[in-house]
A and B are shown apart, each in its own frame.
Chain A
Amino acid sequence: MTAALTETRPEPRAVRREALHFAVRNGKLVTGFAVVLVLLLTGLLGPLLLGSAPPNEYVAAPMLPPSAEHWFGTTTFGQDVFTQFVHGLRTTFAVGALGGGIAALIAMVVGFAAGYRGGLLDEALTMLTNVILVIPTLAVLLIVNAYLGIRGVAVQGLFIGLTSWPWAARAVRAQTFSLRTRDFVDLARLSGLGTGRIIAREIAPNMSSYLFMTFILLFGGSVLIASSLDFIGLGPTEGVSLGLMLQNATQWSALQLGLWWWFVPPGAAITAVVGALYVANVGLDEVFNPKLRTT
């Protein structure tokens, strides 16, 4: 019986090798991840290479255009835009990972529980998901953050995660629902496996690619929401982020003064990170779903 089972199911390592084969040949996936990786390394290594100078320090003459010394020029206060930019990238990735991670975790717990258990639990969780889905996320975050006196990146990520999970929970639930009646799940149930282990060992691995793609979309969404919050003036009270740079630039009339080097890089970086993630996501879809492969 077990021998027959292992024969019908392909070797996991072979599956992985096949996915890798298509992954490295997928232009969208490679380009997307390359862009994200370059920006991530800039955010991780940049602050180390630039020394310990705090990003909001006044280091030079105000309103300098980009030059060899100040790559992205300086602000109206004489802060170095490039220093702010690399520190801001770090914050952006942190918020994305934290918000996206927490949202993915909640979505998985809710989705697995509702999809696998069904019944009354499913009804209750689906209702909860639908209710939170309808509430405009940013409006709730506005109220919460406005009442928080001191705001940090961690708390911002936490609240973004707590509010942006519903659509992902619905997706996970639907996938779980279609998997739970499969033969191998029945077999696991017959062999006396507990619910938690069935979900962890039989259901989740069969939708791991799907879960990963959901996380990528949640990551991108968190980055965008965080930048909106920062822009409205509810960003972290300490430090710097790409959204805060945009807020400062518009608040101190960089537009009217023509300081384009102040507001172009942060927005371009957010667009690049989120856009590259979306494109990589399409690539991943093609890798995992043979029907979508064009080659």
Chain B
Amino acid sequence: MRRYFGRKLLVYALTFVVAVTVNWMIPRFMPGDPVAGMVARAGVSQPAAAEAMRAYYTNLFGLDRPLWQQYASFWGTLLRGDFGISIWLFPTPVSTVILRAVPYTLALMVPAVLLSWVAGNRLGAFAARRRLLDNTVLPLGYVLTATPYMWLAVILAWGLGVVAGWFPVAGGYSFSLQPSLTAGFLLDLLHHWVLPFLSLFLVALGGWAIGMRNMIIYELESDYASYLAALGAPARLIRRYAFRNALLPQITGLALQLGVLVAGALVTEIVFSYPGLGSLILKAIQNQDFFLLQGTFMFIVIGVLVANFVIDLVYVVVDPRTRAGMAGARG
């Protein structure tokens, strides 16, 4: 078990280093000059002013120092929790801007991911046992998992929001309200949360249902299932064992899908102008706020790493083989 966690933590540490390095490298090694771009965007016409700005930015990024010093100081500021100042919301620090948005993204993602996982597994296990159900759940599952997240969001916003008028289609809460801990505000918050949640939930649901259905069918062909059947065990009992075994790859699948799920949450937020990280990224891109964009990137990477680690912990609890020090199923 120590070996299992040691390996995991090594991968996560390396991933973090790679992510930070990528974050540091891209502005410096991409074709084009980011400083020249920023000066040009500021629209300064006087050559003297442009030169001063250029010197200011070069100094700010430390671009005049040797590369290794730039790299070291990049780590230094990062470990102090300093992500720079947002240009879009000048002079708010990037970390403050991001921390304000994170609760919305988490409130959207965590329930959608967990509920779709649970419901999808139930649905898939259900489909595996009846041919009629299988023939309806499977095609529907494939359509859902092939749907781009933003498109389902757009369709739901149009159908249930604009046409039916049941739900608001923009923002995290009504613009007329001030954030407060009153029942009215919380209800409003919930009202705005339903559609983005539903759209995330539905797209993710299809993939889990298909995965579980395939795993159950695979498990039911295995030796222990045949043995149980030969002993005369009821089909329900065999299916329960199959379900428990099929859950393990689905947990691994959850870890593998995290990146896709985050991407889905980001574009869904953009459709609904939901005030989470997705909308923040859109604003950062529109306003050429690279500090904010890079800060958000670091936050997403850290979030995904933490989630991965939590899934590893869950895996150890669920699968006794990892505890006994036998080969863990997750490579």
Contacts and interface: CB of A to CB of B under 8 A. Distances in A.
Interface of A: 126-127, 130-140, 142-144, 146-149, 167, 170, 220, 224-225, 227-228, 231-234, 243, 246, 249-250, 255-256, 258, 260, 263-264, 266-268, 270-275, 277-279, 282, 291
B266 interface: yes
Contact of B146 (A138, A225, A256, A278): A278
Nearest to B23: A143
Contacts of A273: 146
B169 A255 contact: yes
Q: Which 3 A/B pairs are nearest by Cβ-Cβ distance?
A: A267-B151, A275-B146, A138-B263
Contact of B11 (A127, A234, A268, A271): A127
13 contacts: A131-B14, A134-B308, A139-B300, A143-B23, A143-B26, A143-B293, A144-B30, A147-B34, A231-B267, A246-B148, A255-B161, A267-B147, A271-B146
Which interface residue of A136, A137, A233, A273 has the most chain B CB atoms within 10 A? A136
Contacts of A126: 331
B146 A136 contact: no
Contacts of A149: 31-32, 37
B11 A131 contact: yes
B148 A224 contact: yes
B267 A146 contact: no
B85 interface: no
Contacts of B260: 137-138
Chain B interface size, under 10 / 10 to 19 / 20 to 34 / 35 or more: 35 or more
Interface string B261-292: 01110110011000000000110111000100
Interface in B137-189: 139, 142-143, 145-152, 154-155, 157-158, 161-163, 169
Contacts of B10: 127
B143 A130 contact: no
Interface in B1-49: 10-12, 14-15, 18-19, 22-23, 26-27, 30-32, 34, 37
Interface in B238-266: 256, 258-260, 262-264, 266
Main secondary structure of the interface of B (DSSP, over half): helix
B154 A220 contact: no
Contact of A142 (B30, B169, B297, B308): B297
Nearest to B159: A260
B322 interface: no
A255 B146 CA distance: 22
B316 interface: no
Contact of B142 (A132, A139, A246, A279): A279
Contacts of A142: 281, 285, 293, 297
A154 to B, nearest CB: 14
A223 to B, nearest CB: 9
Contacts of A231: 148, 150, 267, 270
A228 B271 contact: no
B157 A232 contact: no
A283 to B, nearest CB: 11
A278 B146 CA distance: 8
Given A139-B301, A147-B290, A227-B148, A130 B259 contact: no
A272 B304 CA distance: 30
A130 B300 contact: no
A69 B43 CA distance: 44
Nearest to A264: B155
B285 to A, nearest CB: 5
A278 B259 contact: no
A257 to B, nearest CB: 9
B125 interface: no
Contacts of A250: 150, 154, 270-271
Given A130-B331, A233-B285, A143 B142 contact: no
Given A130-B331, A139-B262, A147-B27, 13 more contacts: A126-B331, A130-B11, A134-B305, A135-B259, A138-B259, A142-B297, A143-B297, A224-B146, A225-B263, A246-B154, A256-B162, A263-B151, A267-B150
B102 to A, nearest CB: 14
Contact of B154 (A135, A148, A263, A291): A263
Given A131-B15, A255-B169, A138 B158 contact: no
A246 B293 contact: no
Given A136-B300, A228-B149, A278-B142, A233 B26 contact: no
B301 A136 contact: yes
Given A136-B300, A228-B263, A267 B145 contact: no
A135 B331 contact: no
Contacts of B262: 136, 138-139
A167 B22 CA distance: 20
B116 interface: no
Interface string B294-331: 10110011001100100000000000000000000001
Contacts of A135: 15, 18-19, 259, 301, 304
Contact of B285 (A140, A220, A234, A275): A234
B311 to A, nearest CB: 11
A290 to B, nearest CB: 13
A167 B148 CA distance: 20
Interface in B61-96: none
B234 to A, nearest CB: 25
Nearest to B298: A139
Which interface residue of B32, B151, B281 has the most chain A CB atoms within 10 A? B151
A231 B271 CA distance: 9
B282 A232 contact: yes
Contacts of B256: 133, 167
A69 B270 CA distance: 33
